[in-house]
Amino acid sequence: MTRWLDDEEQTTWQAYIRMRQRLDSAIATGLTRDGVSTSDYEVLVALSAAGGQLRSKELGAEICWDKSRLSKHLSRMAARGLVDRCQAVDDARGREVRLTEAGRAALHAAAPNHVELVRRLFIDGMTEDEAAALRSLATRVVSEVERTDLL
Amino acid sequence: MTRWLDDEEQTTWQAYIRMRQRLDSAIATGLTRDGVSTSDYEVLVALSAAGGQLRSKELGAEICWDKSRLSKHLSRMAARGLVDRCQAVDDARGREVRLTEAGRAALHAAAPNHVELVRRLFIDGMTEDEAAALRSLATRVVSEVERTDLL
């Protein structure tokens, strides 16, 4: 028997979905104006946060992309010179993805407007209670997802 | 001068991004097992909520997709028989998108597991305070986004 959402639960879920759709869309538009897509930006940020280089597998796990999506997108980014890929020295099957100088420059070019937008749309209006609630909710959701076999 | 995020703001934003990535990924995997993609499901839900039919333009605004993404995806869904498209009777330039019987059946087939997953990962563990904070945050973010020129 499906436990459908009651009205209040439905309102909460719809509020989240609506926020996510609108925020994603605005952020994508903002990044595009600075020359990168949201997908490019996610990859650039993850590589930069890891010191400029990651195993392909670890990069996929970090940003939650499946192998096929990651491989296709990295090929496009490599063709634009934003990343390069090489064999991991200590693992014949491992592939390393590396941020290039051009990738770092693209990240630095997009970051200021992106951060301003994140502030304006999301962070600046948030109360401390909302921020604390969001962090505790997010921590629990992430651990619930990691307990499932759905990643 | 860019106002970079301070540590606490950065933690909050990263918590949200991490939740979104993991939740999106788990939900996509769940829906795929029931025969639809997240994009299919968004379209099917929006059409169903509107009584089965919407102007193409209104559908795009509802789910925040640009014209090109919507048009490409609707062509794929139409090829699978999930929607059909027709001229709006009262507007020569308007296109109506309509849920077919097969589209409705696909939605009904995917909905129970989807709702169970949304409960398990997101709704069931949420406190009332978290739900209230999320709703007020989402309402404000949506109105901030709508005040920008980025949709």
User: DSSP characters for chain B?
Assistant: ------HHHHHHHHHHHHHHHHHHHHHHHHHHHTT--HHHHHHHHHHHHTTSEEEHHHHHHHHT--HHHHHHHHHHHHHTTSEEEEE-TT-TT-EEEEE-HHHHHHHHHHHHHHHHHHIIIIITT--HHHHHHHHHHHHHHHHHHHHSS--
Q: How far is A116 from chain B (nearest CA, A)?
A: 7
Residue A89 C-alpha, separation from nearest chain B C-alpha, in angstroms: 30
Q: Which long-range contacts (CB under 8 A, 24 or more apart) does A68-73 make?
A: A73/A39, A73/A40, A73/A43
Q: Distance between CA atoms of B62 and A18, rounded to whole angstroms?
A: 9
Contact yes or no for B97/B76 (Cβ under 8 A): no
The per-residue pLDDT for B88 is 72
Backbone φ and ψ for B122, nearest 5 degrees, come out as -130, -55
- Does the distance separating the beta carbons of A123 and B5 come in below 8 Å? yes
Q: Which pLDDT belongs to residue B51?
A: 97
User: In the prediction, which pLDDT does B92 show?
Assistant: 64
Question: Which H or E run contains A54?
Answer: strand A53-55
State the smallest CA–CA distance between residue A80 and chain B in angstroms.
23
**Predicted confidence (pLDDT) at residue B148 exceeds the cutoff of 90:** no
Nearest CA in chain A to B4: A115
Structure tokens at B145: 């986004």
Phi, psi of B66 (to 5 degrees): -75, 165
Rounded mean pLDDT, B22-49: 97
Can you name the residues that pair with A87 across neighbouring β-strands? A95
Phi, psi for A83 (deg, rounded to 5): -140, 160
Alpha-carbon gap, residue B91 to B72, rounded angstroms? 22
Query: Cα separations (Å) of A12 from A8, A137, B115?
Result: 6, 13, 13
Strands A53-55 and A95-99: antiparallel
Residue B87, pLDDT score: 81
Q: Determine the average pLDDT of the residues in B16-38.
A: 96
Does ipTM exceed 0.85? yes
Report helix, strand or coil for A55. Answer: strand
* Closest residue, chain A, to B17 (C-alpha): A138
Mean pLDDT in consecutive groups of 10 residues from the start of chain A, 151 residues: 94 97 96 97 97 96 94 97 87 84 98 97 96 97 90 68
Min Cα distance B151 → chain A (Å) is: 6
pLDDT category of residue B93 using cuts at 50, 70 and 90: low
Best of B6, B14, B22, B68 to mutate (most A CBs within 10 Å, chain A): B22
Selecting from B26, B118, B133 the residue whose C-beta is nearest the C-beta of A134 gives B133
Q: Do B125 and A118 touch (CB under 8 A)?
A: no
Q: Select from A107, A117, A127, A131 the least CA-distant residue to A52.
A: A107
B76-90 pLDDT, tens digit each: 999 999 999 988 777
What are the beta bridge partners of residue A53? A98
- Answer whether A144 sits within 8 Å of B150, measured CB to CB: no
Instruction: Name which of B12, B122, B123 is nearest A134 (Cβ-Cβ).
Output: B12
What DSSP string runs through A76-128?
A: HHHHTTSEEEEE-TT-TT-EEEEE-HHHHHHHHHHHHHHHHHHIIIIITT--H
Mean pLDDT across chain B, nearest whole number?
Answer: 94
Contact B91, B32 (CB under 8 A): no
Test A145 with B22 for CB contact under 8 angstroms. Answer: yes
Size of interface A-B (CB pairs under 8 A): 167
Residue contact A151–B24, C-beta within 8 A? no
The band of B150, judged by pLDDT with boundaries at 50, 70 and 90, is confident
Q: Averaged over B5-10, what is the pLDDT?
A: 96
- pLDDT, chain A, mean: 94
The predicted model gives B133-143 an average pLDDT of: 97
How far is the alpha carbon of B134 from chain A, nearest alpha carbon, in Å?
7
- What's the confidence (pLDDT) of residue B91? 67
Task: Name which of A29, A64, A112 is nearest B25 (Cβ-Cβ).
Answer: A64
B142 contacts A18 by C-beta, under 8 angstroms: yes
Given a cut of 90, whether residue B118 has pLDDT beyond it is: yes
CB contact under 8 A, B25 and A142: no
pLDDT in tens, B95-107: 899 999 999 999 9
pLDDT over 80 at B33, yes or no: yes
pLDDT of residue B149: 76
